[in-house]
């Protein structure tokens, strides 16, 4: 099976300080992968590099076989991205925001586009009344849902989520996790998420990529809990992580 | 030697310091002076003993650790003995966290004047190269905006012309009208002394068409739209909206920056026409009401004193001023990286720099026109 995301020998540096050094990462189709790491280990930098927002000093990054920094067509129309603060365009309504990516790469008639945008918004559990509101009129949780609707608008095959549950209350966060797993299983998406939320990690991730020593260690939660590496060991055996794990074992995985 | 916080005993070539009392945050100043009194000159080793130490926190441990580092740099070995685990845990924290910052304390040598001059030249060079880069960036953006217009960019350009141009017509007309009144009144006061009231018309027509109309329009637009460019792009940047556009495969320079620049370059000459007309109307209004010049006389005289060149001399400045306002506004907006505080500062900078550049460019235009004899 071809990996959906393949990062090879990535080097990212600020001046002489290397954040990533010969980092490699492969993500397979249909996986939900969490990216974790201590502060300053370059989680966001890694994500931005994969998304084509920060050209790395060296390395090869391919998403669905497209070279992200190559001259040919990029993978932009096959991915959806949910930014940490939603990043809805503030000058446009929710409807226009969701329609924008649809309009960009297709000549769909306006009526169809409109219906499709409404469908995506409904899928994310947002009331239809929110469609004609501006982002500034929505609550934090609603902005995230609207941004997710936009990320899903162009039928992406891979979804990138940057701290999807940050800033949501625990109930909102749990609902969001459920939504993500539901979408993943029904649309057969590959999902990559940067997260600090241990409940999300244990709740929905198949594998977790840990940024340590300027590289990535990737494995299932069971493997990582057994890891001998001090940071990984501490992170996954932290009391809060333990509790999240126990909760998950008693409830059973949701998908 | 003894004081409230320590006893220092001197052997032949070693000093033993036993601590006592509370080595805590509230006592830091006294602790420093107590430690400063410890004389270790000529000694080869200093030993700190826990002794009668009651409490120690990170601040106290830091003072102690820093002193031990000082001893080490003068060639003394230092040693800590008898500290309880709880105390020592603090000290260990401090040793691990503090190592590098001590080194930088010593490195920060005072700047000599020559170094300062060098730094100033260096920052001047950097400003010059980044300025050139900025000009290149803006020129490229406009060029791309013109050569590769997308449907989205065209729509945005139209919106910008509406917002920066059409919506500004009332305020700019009003201000220019008042300027026309003021110029006419001041001129009439002086010219009446020579019985040359009718020359007020020439004064108003030429000053409004050549200078005042375009300057008033440009300054109002700098305040209205230059700040709006910086603020809107800055907010979008803070809100990751520019990144969101990029991951959709859109270039924010093409869909946001270029439309603003092109829109303003279209809008400002049009606004200048309105400003010119309103300014002349102001002059006409004052002449008719306060001076004994009829509307017909005014129009006739104005048509004689000004020709198309006069109008053109004013209008040709408008796109240049628009470019300056747009370039400064968008660049400052794109420079926002971190905080709302920075956004406010850069927005202010954008307006101040835009107005300063407008006046400077106007002076350059004047010199050019004098040389050309226009």
Are B28 and B60 in contact, with CB atoms under 8 Å apart? yes
Q: Which two tokens stand for residue B133?
A: 């880069």
- Interchain contact, A90 vs B241, CB within 8 Å: yes
Determine the straight-line distance between the first and last CA of chain B, rounded to whole angstroms. Answer: 90
What distance in Å separates residue B70's CA from the closest CA in chain A?
A: 30
Contact list in A for residue B240 (CB cut-off 8 A) is 83-85, 87
Region of A17 please: left (phi>0), alpha (psi -120 to 50) or beta.
Answer: beta
Task: Report CB contact under 8 Å: A76, B240.
Answer: no
Reply yes or no on whether the pLDDT at B118 is more than 70. Answer: yes
Q: Name every chain A residue with its beta carbon within 8 A of the beta carbon of B343.
A: none
Cα gap B170→B77, rounded to integer Å: 80
Model pLDDT for residues B300-313, shown as the tens digit of each residue: 998 888 888 888 99
pLDDT digits (tens, 9 = 90+) for A215-238: 899 999 888 888 888 888 888 888
Question: Rounded to 5 degrees, what are φ and ψ at B90?
Answer: -60, -50
State how far residue B258 is from chain A, nearest Cα, in angstroms.
17
Total domains in chain A come to 2
Q: How many CB atoms lie within 10 A of CB B111?
A: 10
Do A51 and A160 form a contact (C-beta atoms < 8 A)? yes
Q: Is the pTM of this model over 0.80?
A: no
Q: Are strands B45-56 and B14-23 parallel, antiparallel or unpaired?
A: parallel
- Higher pLDDT residue, A157 or B114? A157
pLDDT band at A165 (very low <50, low <70, confident <90, very high): confident
**pLDDT average, residue stretch A131-142:** 89
The beta-carbon neighbor of A87 closest among B232, B243, B249 is B243
Q: Is A216 helix (H, G, I), strand (E, B) or coil?
A: strand
Higher pLDDT residue, B363 or B122?
Answer: B363
Mean pLDDT of chain A, nearest integer: 86
CATH number for the domain spanning A54: value is 3.40.50.300
d(CA A149, CA A86): 10
Q: Which residues of B touch A77 (CB under 8 A)?
A: 249
Residues of A in contact with B247 (CB under 8 A): 51-53, 76, 79, 81
A102 and A22 in one domain? no
Q: Is residue A56 located within the same domain as residue A108?
A: no
Between CA B204 and CA B280 the distance in angstroms is: 7
Q: A159 contacts in B (CB within 8 Å)? A: none
CATH fold label, B6-107? Transcription Regulator spoIIAA (3.30.750)
Which of A131, A156, A181 lies at the terminal end of a domain, its last residue?
A156
- What is the Cα–Cα distance from A182 to A188, expressed in whole angstroms? 10
Using pLDDT thresholds of 50, 70 and 90, give the confidence band for residue A174: confident
pLDDT value of residue B172: 95
Residues A234 and A183 in one domain: yes
Q: Does residue A75 form part of some domain?
A: no
Domain assignment of residue A109, given as a range: 90-156
Residue at A85 is within a domain:
no
Which range of A36-50, B27-41, B46-60, B206-220 scores highest in mean pLDDT? It is: B206-220
Helices and strands counted in chain A (H then E): 9, 10
Q: Which long-range contacts (CB under 8 A, 24 or more apart) does B315-319 make?
A: B315/B214, B315/B269, B315/B272, B315/B273, B316/B365, B317/B214, B317/B218, B317/B361, B317/B362, B317/B365, B318/B214, B318/B217, B318/B218, B318/B268, B318/B269, B318/B271, B318/B272, B319/B265, B319/B268, B319/B269
CATH 3.30.750.24 location in chain B:
6-107
pLDDT classification of B98: cutoffs 50, 70, 90: very low
Residues A185 and A149 in one domain: no
Look at chain B and count its residues: 374
A138 and A175 assigned to the same domain: no
ipTM reported for the complex, 2 dp: 0.83
Give the three-state DSSP class for B27. helix
- What is the residue-averaged pLDDT of chain B? 85
- Tell me, yes or no, whether A103 and A195 share the same domain: no
The residue of B159, B238, B240 whose CB has the most chain A CBs within 10 angstroms, and thus the best one to mutate to test that interface, is B240
Q: Round to whole Å and give the CA distance between B241 and A151.
A: 13
β-bridge mates for residue A162, sequence order: A194
Q: Which helix (H) or strand (E) holds B328?
A: helix B317-334
Q: Report strand pairing: A207-212 vs A58-63.
A: unpaired
What pLDDT is recorded for position A24? Answer: 92
Phi, psi of B244 (to 5 degrees): -60, -40
B162-212 pLDDT, tens digit per residue, is 999 999 999 999 999 999 999 999 998 888 888 888 889 999 999 999 999
Provide, rounded to the nearest whole percent, the portion of chain B with pLDDT above 90. 43
Strands (E), A15-70: 17-27, 32-37, 58-63, 66-67
- Read out DSSP for B212-238? IHHHHHHHHHIIIIIHHHHHHHHHHHH
Q: What is the pLDDT of residue B100?
A: 37
Do A128 and A232 belong together in one domain? no
pLDDT tens-place string over residues A84-117: 888 899 888 999 999 888 888 777 788 888 888 8
Q: Is residue A78 part of a domain?
A: no
Q: What are the tokens at B154? A: 């065209």
Integer Cα distance of B297 and B198 in angstroms: 9
The verdict on A175 and A252 lying in the same domain is: yes
Evaluate if residue B104 carries a pLDDT over 60. no
Residues 6+ apart with CB under 8 A from B23: B5, B31, B53, B55, B56, B57, B60, B61, B63, B64
Please check whether residue A76 lies inside any domain of the structure.
no
Q: Does residue A227 sit within a domain?
A: yes
């Amino acid at each position: 099976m071809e990996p959906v995301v393949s990062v090879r020998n990535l080097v990212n540096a600020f001046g002489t300080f290397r954040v990533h050094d010969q980092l490699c990462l492969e993500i397979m189709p249909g996986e939900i992968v969490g990216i974790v790491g201590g502060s300053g280990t370059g989680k966001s930098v890694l994500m931005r590099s994969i998304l084509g927002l920060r050209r790395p000093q060296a390395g090869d990054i391919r998403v669905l076989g497209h070279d992200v920094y190559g001259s040919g067509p990029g993978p932009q129309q096959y991915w959806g991205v949910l930014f940490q603060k939603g990043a809805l365009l503030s000058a446009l309504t929710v409807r226009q925001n969701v329609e924008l990516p649809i309009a960009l790469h297709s000549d769909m008639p306006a009526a169809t586009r409109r219906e499709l945008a409404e469908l995506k918004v409904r899928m994310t559990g947002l009331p239809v009344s929110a469609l004609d509101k501006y982002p500034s009129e929505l609550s934090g949780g609603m902005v995230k849902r609207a941004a997710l609707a936009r990320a899903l608008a162009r039928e992406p095959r891979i979804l990138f989520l940057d701290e999807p549950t940050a800033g949501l209350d625990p109930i909102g966060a749990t609902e969001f996790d459920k939504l993500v797993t539901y979408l993943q299983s029904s649309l057969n998406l590959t999902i990559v998420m940067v997260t600090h939320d241990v409940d999300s990690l244990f709740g929905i991730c198949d594998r977790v990529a840990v940024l340590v020593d300027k590289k990535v260690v990737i494995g299932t939660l069971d493997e990582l809990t057994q890891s001998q590496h001090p940071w990984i060991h501490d992170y996954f055996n932290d009391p809060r992580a333990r509790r999240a794990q126990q909760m998950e074992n008693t409830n059973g995985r949701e998908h | 030697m003894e004081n409230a916080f320590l006893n220092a005993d001197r052997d032949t070539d070693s000093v033993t310091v036993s601590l006592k009392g509370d080595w805590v945050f509230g006592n830091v100043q006294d602790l420093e002076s107590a430690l400063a009194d410890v004389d270790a000159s000529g000694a080869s080793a200093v030993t700190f003993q826990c002794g009668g130490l009651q409490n120690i926190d990170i601040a106290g441990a830091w003072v102690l650790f820093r002193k031990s580092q000082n001893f080490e740099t003068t060639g003394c070995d230092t040693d800590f003995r008898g500290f309880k685990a709880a105390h020592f845990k603090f000290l260990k924290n401090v040793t691990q966290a503090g190592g590098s910052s001590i080194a930088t304390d010593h490195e920060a040598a005072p700047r000599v004047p020559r170094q300062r001059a060098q730094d100033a030249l260096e920052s001047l060079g950097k400003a010059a190269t980044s300025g050139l880069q900025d000009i290149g960036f803006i020129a490229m953006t406009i060029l791309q905006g013109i050569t590769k217009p997308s449907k989205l960019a065209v729509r945005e350009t139209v919106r910008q012309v509406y917002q920066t141009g059409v919506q500004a017509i009332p305020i700019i007309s009003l201000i220019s009208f008042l300027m026309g009144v003021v110029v006419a009144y001041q001129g009439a006061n002086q010219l009446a002394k020579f019985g040359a009231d009718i020359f007020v018309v020439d004064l108003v027509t030429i000053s409004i068409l050549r200078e005042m109309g375009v300057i008033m329009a440009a300054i109002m637009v700098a305040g209205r739209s230059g700040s709006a460019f910086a603020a809107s792009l800055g907010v979008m940047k803070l809100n990751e909206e520019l990144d969101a556009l990029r991951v959709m495969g859109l270039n924010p320079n093409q869909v946001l920056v270029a439309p603003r620049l092109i829109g303003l370059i279209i809008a400002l000459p049009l606004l200048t026409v309105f400003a010119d007309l309103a300014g002349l109307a102001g002059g006409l209004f004052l002449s008719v009401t306060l001076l004994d010049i009829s509307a017909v006389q005014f129009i006739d005289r104005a048509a004689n004193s000004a020709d198309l060149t006069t109008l053109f001399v004013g209008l040709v400045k408008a796109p240049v001023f628009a470019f300056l306002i747009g370039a400064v506004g968008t660049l400052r907006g794109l420079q926002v990286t971190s905080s709302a505080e920075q956004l406010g500062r850069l927005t202010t900078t954008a307006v101040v720099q835009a107005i300063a550049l407008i006046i400077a460019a106007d002076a350059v235009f004047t010199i050019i026109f004098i040389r050309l004899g226009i």
